[in-house]
Amino acid sequence: PTLRVSLRAQPPGGQVALGDRLVLSCEVATGTGPLSFSWHREGARASLGTGARLELQQVGDSDSGHYHCRVSNGDSVAESPTLKVTVL
């Protein structure tokens, strides 16, 4: 089955004040088997983390950008829509 992946942000909308905490959650609507997650920001070479959540404790100006998560169940890989994070 195809994986359907969505992305949620806290605070909602991806707008976060400088120094505040940002939590991104990757949610899978369909799919079976053990799931593996990876987090990516446009322009960054390495994965930002693994797991269904990405938590940035104190965001800085360099944390602004477009984020997405990638989910694999061993058979297929799917990506979430991109979320624009803006540090205010």
In this prediction, residue 3 carries a pLDDT of 76
Cα–Cα distance measured from residue 47 to residue 69, given in angstroms and rounded to the nearest whole number:
10
Does position 88 have pLDDT exceeding 80, yes or no? Answer: yes
Cα–Cα distance measured from residue 22 to residue 62, given in angstroms and rounded to the nearest whole number:
13
CATH topology of domain 4-87: Immunoglobulin-like (2.60.40)
Cα–Cα distance measured from residue 85 to residue 59, given in angstroms and rounded to the nearest whole number:
10
pLDDT in tens, 11-58: 999 999 999 999 999 998 876 678 999 999 998 888 999 999 999 999
Domain parsing of the chain, residue ranges: 4-87
User: Is there a contact between 6 and 80 (Cβ–Cβ < 8 Å)?
Assistant: yes
Q: How far is CA 30 from CA 41, 50, 82, in A?
A: 24, 19, 19
Q: 0.75 cut: is pTM over it?
A: yes
Does position 1 have pLDDT exceeding 70, yes or no? Answer: no
